Structures are given as structure tokens and as C-alpha cells.
A and B are shown apart, each in its own frame.
Chain A
């Protein structure tokens, strides 16, 4: 197992004492198979117990450990040391306020996520005693990809539109709405349209595509958003040019 001396430069910010964030560098001898999170844990345990960051699963599924690594939004538990040079810069996810060190305030995202009604609004109610809804594998495939989002918010950090227009509901939240819209069991699309087809919704997106490039779970939010635009456009033409056609 090879080891390398790596300079880990971490953005530090303590709201109680600092006016501005500063960069602090730590030298860590890292095993080549480590991820950046391992290096942070090493620092926390051995060099500086005050360093603060979030993490839990260490297997890229809980979505806690999103941070900017060399300027790119990444999961620290899936950013392999061997892919980096001897100096790694770690900062909190951009576009989110910094609470402390690598910890950001994500309430804005949580509120937006909740606002799109991300739950099944059944097309037809079914009592438990009737068993499960029938859903063919091909129907499952229509939305499966969008269920894989771990809410890590890397896409929000990558999306310049969210940075410029903070009201933008953003990639992950709209993708989860799309996920339910595409579900054969769901009938709640028009409820969600009220929110996601608004100006702060999908129309803030100009298909930069950065969200999909950084998404660690290949959710492809960019794709979801364009599909929502297409569907909303068809809705619009239908409502305005053919008002007699029922929704």
C-alpha cells in the first residue's frame, strides 16, 4: 500500500470568531486507496479536533459529505486520493451559506424539496387488502433513475443558475417531482405543475447541464428538467390553443 504526503487545504470558518473564511493547510500522509474523507477523518482524529464537516455512510449513499474538492462538487467519500495531485483544496459546497468550516446551511434546499410534493398522489386509491399496485418492469424503468437521488446537493453547487437566482427550485427538487410524475401509480402531476412549471421552477434552467455532470448517482437532473419543460410546453399549448380539450 503506497503512501503519499498530501497537503490538504481546508476552508475554515468559525462564525463566532472569524469575519472571513481562511484556508488552513494540513499535511497528511495518505494511503493511495483513501478517499478525501479519510484524510479529513485523519485530521480530525490526529491533528485538529475542531475541524467540522458532515459525513456518515462512507459509501456514497447518505449524501452528507458533499464538498468542493479542487473547485468541483464531490462526495468526499467518493473522491479518491489517487486521482489528485499532492495538494488538495477542500471547501464547503458553493451556493450555500457556510455555517462553519465545511458545513453549509441546506434549509433552502430542504424547503424546496418539500415544496414540490415529492410523494405519491395515487391515481386511484387502493386498500391494503387488495395488495400491491401492478407495475410492469418497463413502467418502473420510466422513473427509476430519478429515484436514485441521494439529496447530496452537488447539483445545486454545480448549477450556475442556482447561484445567480437563489429562488430557482433547482435540479434535484424538480427531478424528484418528475420522478413521481413518471410513476404509473401517480396521478398528482397537475398539483406539482403549479410549482415546478412556475418561473422559479423549471424555467430558470437553461440547460447548462453541469448538474448531471457532477451527479454522483447518474440521476441526470438536466434531462429530467428538459423533459419537464417539454411536457409543460405541451400543456401550455394545449391549455391555450385547445382549451376545450380536458386535462
Chain B
């Protein structure tokens, strides 16, 4: 796992592809990163859907058929889970990336996170009401 180096120091090598198995927090991080695979694939699906819409109703129907397949269902379920994980992990760190100072004090992180969740829920409800 390691090698000896000059100056008599001993270097512990980090395994390149399996390092993240060492700690739960790394696994959580990788899970977060891997959501991008699903979100990316899903977005490509949207790109195709839009293309099919442009091509006319039949083309779109074809697209739907694929969606109905077991694979399509499975894909959508996993994307939903990935998307939920992405959203929560994203909102939870917003205060770190964008702290807000109000007067003298910094706004508490909980409020910033909370605000994001509220906006998220609002948008989701809006789309649901409009879309269903």
C-alpha cells in the first residue's frame, strides 16, 4: 500500500480508484457526485423528448413507448431518487457557499437552508398543480 521515499520519509499511497470506500463521508460525497450521471442522462432524455416534440406527435408517441418499458420505469425511479439526493445535498450546503450578512450578524445557516427548501417546495407544488 505504500512505498518508501527519499529523505527517509514513508509515503502512504492513496488508492486511486477505491479511496472513497474508506470513509462513510467519502461515500456520501461520491453518491452526491454520481447523481450527475442520472441527472445528465435524464437531461439527455429531455433533449430527445424536445426533439421528438419538434418532429411531431407520432415521434413523440414513439418516445413515450420507450418510457413505458420496464427499463424506462426503472430509470425514472432511480433518477427521482438521485434528484432528491442531489437537491437535499445541494441545499444543505448553500449557507457555506453563500453566507448572507444582515446588518451586523450573519444570517443563521438554518434559515438559509430553510428558505431554499421552502422555495423548492413552492416550485414543486406549482409545477405539480400546473402539470397534472
Residues of chain A at the chain B interface (Cβ within 8 Å) = 13, 15-16, 19-21, 71, 94-95, 97-99, 105, 137-138, 141-142, 160, 163-164, 206-210, 212-213, 220, 222-223, 226-227, 230
For the complex, give the distance between the alpha carbons of A208 and B32 in Å.
9
- Give the residue name and chain of the B residue nearest to A229 (CB): B97
Alpha-carbon gap, A160 to B19, bound state (A): 8
Bound Cα distance A173, B9 (Å)? 23
Contact across chains for A94 and B4 when beta carbons are under 8 A apart: no
18 contacts between A and B (CB under 8 A): A19-B4, A20-B2, A21-B10, A95-B14, A97-B9, A97-B10, A97-B11, A99-B9, A105-B7, A142-B101, A160-B29, A206-B33, A207-B93, A208-B25, A208-B26, A209-B25, A222-B96, A227-B99
User: Which listed residue (A13, A71, A105, A209) contacts B22, Cβ 8 A?
Assistant: A71
Check B105–A98 contact: CB distance below 8 A: no
Residues B19 and A164 in contact, CB atoms below 8 Å apart: yes
Q: Is B12 a contact of A94 with CB atoms below 8 Å? A: yes
Nearest CB of A to B34, in Å: 13
B104 at the interface (CB under 8 A from A): yes
Contact of A137 with B96 at beta-carbon distance under 8 Å, contacts A13-B10, A71-B23, A210-B29 already known: no
Roughly how many angstroms separate A16 CA and B7 CA in the complex, as a whole number?
A: 11
**B window 75-132: CB within 8 A of A:** 93, 95-99, 101, 103-106
Q: In the complex, A130 Cα to B103 Cα: how many Å?
A: 28
Given known A141-B105, A163-B14, contact A105–B9 (CB-CB < 8 A): yes
Are A15 and B97 also in contact (CB < 8 A) when A20-B2, A71-B23, A141-B106 are? no
Interface residue? B20 (CB, 8 A): yes
Q: Top 5 nearest A-B pairs by Cβ distance?
A: A223-B96, A97-B9, A15-B8, A226-B97, A163-B14
Flag if B26 contacts A220 (CB, 8 Å): no
- B64 CB to closest chain A CB (Å) equals 37
**Are the C-beta atoms of B25 and A210 separated by less than 8 Å?**
yes
Q: Is B5 close to A, CB under 8 A?
A: yes
Q: Are B10 and A98 in contact (CB under 8 A)?
A: yes
Bound state CA distance, A226 and B104, in angstroms? 22
Contact partner of B29 (CB less than 8 A), chosen from A95, A164, A209, A223, is A209
Inter-chain contacts of A226 with B (CB < 8 A) = 93, 96-97
Given A141-B106, A207-B93, the answer on whether A223 and B10 have CB atoms closer than 8 Å is no
What residues of A have a CB within 8 angstroms of the CB of B23 in the complex?
71, 210
In the docked arrangement, what's the CA distance between A48 and B16, Å?
A: 36
Point out the residues of chain B lying under 8 angstroms from A213, CB to CB: 25
Q: Are A98 and B14 in contact (CB under 8 A)?
A: no
With A98-B9, A220-B96 already in contact, the answer to whether A138 and B16 are too (CB < 8 A) is no
Closest to A13 in B: B10
User: In the complex, which residues of chain B have a beta carbon less than 8 angstroms from the beta carbon of A164?
Assistant: 14, 16, 19
User: Out of A71, A98, A207, A223, which one reaches B12, CB within 8 Å?
Assistant: A98
* Residue with the highest number of chain B CB atoms closer than 10 Å, among A97, A164, A207: A97
Closest to A227 in B: B97
Q: In the complex, what residues of B have CB within 8 A of residue A206's CB? A: 33
